[in-house]
Amino acid sequence: MSKQRAPIGIIAACAVVVASAATAVVILLGPSRHRSTEVILDAAIIPGQTPDLLQGMEIPPFNLIDQNGNPVDQTMFEGKLTIVDFFFTRCPGPCPMMTQQMRRLQQALAGTSVQFASFSVDSQNEPPEVLAAYARANGADTSNWTFITGDDAQIYRIATEGLYFALERDPSIQIDIGGGQTTDNIIHPTHLILIGPGREVWALAGFTNEEHIQLLIDRTRTLAKRIERR
């Protein structure tokens, strides 16, 4: 039976930054209550409790490539905690700030087994060498931060069918890319997404909310230690 669910309505028009604490919801392990598209969760972590899978949100199977042109698939997420975002390199709005937050998380969680993955939502214009240059320009340590590209259809399926986020091109908004040229805006997720070792979603954090980011750091560090002891 196929999963049916409306996409989460927290998206970004990259030409304009829209930030709201009301929509920057953090989801962490613990007792949960669902309300509309928000999920409110206790900050407590309950040992041994199966996490709420957020109605089936998970990373589905895929075959893509990384910033070095090497193949990657869903198995990269298995057995580890991974913090994920979706971006494109020509996005002038939330993406640069999301990448900064990902770098901050990487630095804060150094020494743990946590890894990071950034999916390009414009892979037709972002081959591996473009992502490699973007990673270098943003100070990303690619030893445990993978930038993923290769096939828009698969990446869109991950976002929309696996994680239930809205992801689509928006030609009504044009982004100036210089040289008198423009490109379509892309509406995409603006959450930082914690993926558990079974590829399921364990947490979401709005990238503009300082309290949520710090909570994500603290809880992820605790969870990583627990997983490493298994």
Amino acid at 3: K
- Torsion angles phi and psi, residue 75, rounded to 5: -65, -15
pLDDT on residue 49: 40
204, part of any domain: yes
pLDDT on residue 59: 97
**From CA 104, how far away is CA 64, in angstroms rounded?**
26
pLDDT on residue 52: 52
90, part of any domain: yes
Tokens encoding 140 = 């990303």
pLDDT on residue 53: 44
- Torsion angles phi and psi, residue 135, rounded to 5: -60, -45
Could you tell me the maximum CA-CA distance found in the chain, to the nearest angstrom? 56
pLDDT on residue 65: 99
pLDDT on residue 66: 99
Concatenating the DSSP letter of every residue in the chain gives -----PPBS-EE-TTS----TTT-----SS-EEEETTEEEE-S---TTPPPP-TTT-BPPP-EEEETTS-EEEGGGGTTS-EEEEEE-TT--SHHHHHHHHHHHHHHHTTTSS-EEEEEES-GGG--HHHHHHHHHHTT--TTSEEEEES-HHHHHHIIIIIS-B--EEEEEEEEEEETTEEEEEEEEE-EEEEE-TTSBEEEEEETT-HHHHHHHHHHHHHHHHHHHT-
Amino acid at 184: D
1, part of any domain: no
Residue 58 Cα distances to 84, 107, 157, 219, angstroms: 12, 25, 11, 19
**From CA 75, how far away is CA 171, in angstroms rounded?**
34
72, part of any domain: yes
pLDDT on residue 56: 77
Residue 154 Cα distances to 94, 101, 123, 161, angstroms: 23, 25, 10, 10
3, part of any domain: no
Residue range of the domain that includes 107 = 11-228
Q: What is the count of structural domains for the chain?
A: 1
CATH of the domain at 110: 3.40.30.10
pLDDT on residue 51: 44
- The low-confidence residues of the chain, meaning pLDDT below 50, are 1-4, 6-51, 53
- pTM beyond 0.85: no
pLDDT on residue 104: 97
4, part of any domain: no
- β-strand 82-87 against 191-195: which pairing, if any? antiparallel
6, part of any domain: no
189, part of any domain: yes
